[in-house]
Amino acid sequence: MQPADPCLLVIFGASGDLTSRKLIPSLYQMHCAGLLSGATQVLGVSRRPKSSEDWRGELKSVAQKHCPTFDDSKWAELAARIHYFAADAVKQADWEGLKREMGRLDESGKCRGNLLLFLSVGPELYEPIVEQIELAGLATEGKRWCSLNPADRSWQRIVVEKPFGHDEVSAASLNRALGRVFEEESIYRIDHYLGKEVVQSLLVLRFANSIFEPVWNHRYIDHVQITASESIGVEDRIGFYERTGALRDMIQSHMLQIMAFVAMEPPTNFSADHIRSEKIKAIDAVPVVSAASVPLCCALGQYSSGSGGAGYAELPGVAPQSMTETFAAIRLTVDNWRWARTPFYLRTGKRMAQKRTEVVVQFKPPAADLFRGVCPDDARLEGNRLVIEIAPLERTTLRFASKAPGAMRVAPVEMGVDYAKEFATATVEAYGPLLVDAMRGDQSLFKHRLEVEGAWKAVMPFLNEDSLEVRRAMHSNYEPGSWGPASSTELMARDGRAWHNPPKSSP
C-alpha cells in the first residue's frame, strides 16, 4: 500500500467513543506502519472545552490499551501532530475561529490544502454540519484540477459514518445534502467491516483462483448464509438500539455489503470504479419482497432474561411493548443469471451463543450418489461447504468428502487456512486502512450512494408495516446463549435447510 497524501484530518465528534477507541489507535497503527504522511495533521473538534495537551493525554491511555505493541517514541511522533479545538460544528458563529485554526495547521504542517473531514457524530448532525461546511466555503468544486502543477492541486473529502439514514427516504435526503456540497468522488461512506482483511480477501478468493469461479453460480451453489452474531447484549447502547434495531444496525449496512462481495460479477480490473459498479449491480438485482411474503422470509426476536442479566424488554429506556428487534434473519435472492432462485440467508443478533461473523457457501450435493447403498449408513452425500470466518478468527475452511479408514464409508473432512498463523501478522484495526484509502483517494472499500439506497430498498419490507405481524410475536422469544428464536430455525426448515451453528466449544 502506498503512503497517504499529506492532509489535515478534521474529526467532528472528537470527544466520542469512536474517536478514542477506533480512529486514533488506527492512525497510530498506520503511523507505525509508515503509511501516514509525516505532514498529516489531526484536528479534533468537539464542544467540550479542553486543551490539545489534555486531549493527547486522554488518547494516549486509550491507545496503550488497544495497541499491544505500543511504543512511546512512535506515539510522541504522532501526538505532536494531534490538536484539539472546542467548537459546536452546527453553529455558524463557531466556524470563524475553527477556520482560522484549520488554516494555521494546514500552513504549518504543509498539508497542501488537502482536507479530510470525518463526521464521527450522531446521524442527526450530519446534514447540519454539511450545511456549515458549505457556508464556510471549505469544499471548492474543481479546485483539485485547476492547477497545471500537480503539486499545487488540493482535494477536500468527507467521511460519513453509519447509520447512513434511518430508512430509504432519509438516506436519499442525506445523499442529496452531501451532493450539494461534494462531488460523489469526494464522499466516503465508511463501513469498517470492509476494512477487515478476510472481507477483502473474498475478492482474491473468488477471482484469483480458477477452481471457484466456474462453480460460483446457481447450478452448483445451493444457498449462501451470512451470520454476524454477538454474545453480548446491547450494553450501554440502549438509546441507540431502541431507535435502530438489528436490521438497521447490521443487515442494511455491513451484511449487505458482504453479500455484494459474494454475489458481484468479476470487475474489469481492480479499481474503485469497477468494483463499486459491480457491487451496485448486485444490490440492484435484489428484488423487493412482497408484503405477503415478509412473514415467510423473515424471523425477528428479542432476547429474554437469563444468567447473563435482564432481557431486552426489561432494560431501562426500552419502551413498553417495544418492537425493536435484537435478532433478525431474512431471506433474499439476487435476480440475475448467475444467482437465479439461489437464496441468501442473512442473520444477526445480540446475546447469541457465540461472537462470530462468517460467510457459508453451501454447494449442492453430487447429482448422482455413486455410493448410495454401498456405505453402511446409506446416508446421502453432503455438498461441499466453504466457510469464510471474518471474526473473531480470520480463517477459511473447505469441507469435502473422503473415504474413512476401514469399511467403505464416506466422511466429511476439512482443509483450511488460518490467516494469523499463515501470514504471522498482527491484527490491524479496520479503520486504519480505510482512513489511509480515503487520504489516497481510493474508494474501493467505500459505499456509493446507489449501494446505500439499494440496500435500504431491499430491507424496507422488513422494517415497515409489512413486518408488523412478525414484530408482534417477537417479545422475549429467544434465550441468551442460543442461536436465536425458533422462527429462525423454521425459516430455514421451510426451505429444507438448516443454519450452520458451530458447537459452543468452537472459537
Chain CA centroid to CA 291, Å: 28
Radius of gyration of the chain (CA): 24
Strands 115-119 and 8-12: parallel
Nearest to 329 by CA among 234, 223, 240: 223
Q: State whether 227 and 311 are in the same domain.
A: yes
Q: State whether 359 and 472 are in the same domain.
A: yes
| Sequential DSSP letters for 19-41 | IIIIIHHHHHHHHHTT-S-TT-E
Q: State whether 272 and 228 are in the same domain.
A: yes
How many structural domains does the chain have?
2
Q: State whether 153 and 273 are in the same domain.
A: no
Helix, strand, coil percentages, rounded to 5, for the chain: 40, 20, 40
The answer to whether position 421 is within a domain reads no
Q: Provide the terminal-to-terminal Cα distance of the chain, rounded to the nearest Å.
A: 31
Phi, psi of 426, deg, nearest 5 = -75, 150
Is residue 462 within 8 Å of residue 348, measured between CB atoms? no
| Sequential DSSP letters for 365-388 | PPSS-TTTTTSTT-PPPPPPEEEE
Place of cell 477459511: 396
The answer to whether position 406 is within a domain reads no
Nearest to 44 by CA among 126, 125, 105: 105
The answer to whether position 43 is within a domain reads yes
pTM of the predicted structure, to 2 decimals: 0.91
List the CATH number of the domain containing 277. Answer: 3.30.360.10
List the CATH number of the domain containing 154. Answer: 3.40.50.720
HEC per residue, 145-173: HHCCCHHHCCCEEEEECCCCCCCHHHHHH
Which of the following is catalytic: 254, 274, 448, 475?
Answer: 254
Nearest to 63 by CA among 103, 111, 30: 30
Domain extent, residue 260, equals 196-368+449-493
The answer to whether position 26 is within a domain reads yes
The answer to whether position 233 is within a domain reads yes
The answer to whether position 162 is within a domain reads yes
Q: State whether 183 and 203 are in the same domain.
A: no
The answer to whether position 378 is within a domain reads no
Q: State whether 217 and 140 are in the same domain.
A: no
The answer to whether residue 500 is catalytic is: no
- Domain boundary pick from 134, 165, 192: 192
Q: State whether 160 and 228 are in the same domain.
A: no
Residue type, 402: S
Q: State whether 219 and 175 are in the same domain.
A: no
Q: Per-residue confidence of the chain (507 residues) as pLDDT tens digits?
A: 667 899 999 999 999 889 998 999 999 999 999 999 999 999 999 999 999 999 999 999 888 888 888 899 999 999 999 999 999 999 999 999 999 999 999 999 899 999 999 999 988 999 999 999 999 999 876 455 555 455 557 899 999 998 899 999 999 999 999 999 999 999 999 988 787 777 778 889 999 999 999 999 999 999 999 999 999 999 888 988 999 999 999 999 899 999 999 999 999 988 888 999 999 999 999 999 999 999 999 999 999 998 678 999 999 999 988 999 999 999 999 999 999 989 999 999 999 999 999 999 999 988 877 777 666 555 677 889 999 998 888 899 999 888 878 777 787 888 998 887 888 766 677 899 999 999 999 998 899 999 999 999 999 999 999 999 999 989 888 999 999 999 999 999 999 999 999 876 555
Is residue 461 within 8 Å of residue 291, measured between CB atoms? yes
The answer to whether position 407 is within a domain reads no
- Domain boundary pick from 137, 158, 192: 192
Q: State whether 274 and 327 are in the same domain.
A: yes
Q: State whether 187 and 333 are in the same domain.
A: no
Q: State whether 165 and 40 are in the same domain.
A: yes
Strand ranges, E, within 178-326: 187-189, 221-229, 298-301
Q: State whether 269 and 154 are in the same domain.
A: no
- Domain boundary pick from 158, 192, 226: 192
Please give the helix or strand (H or E) that residue 261 lies within, else none: helix 256-263
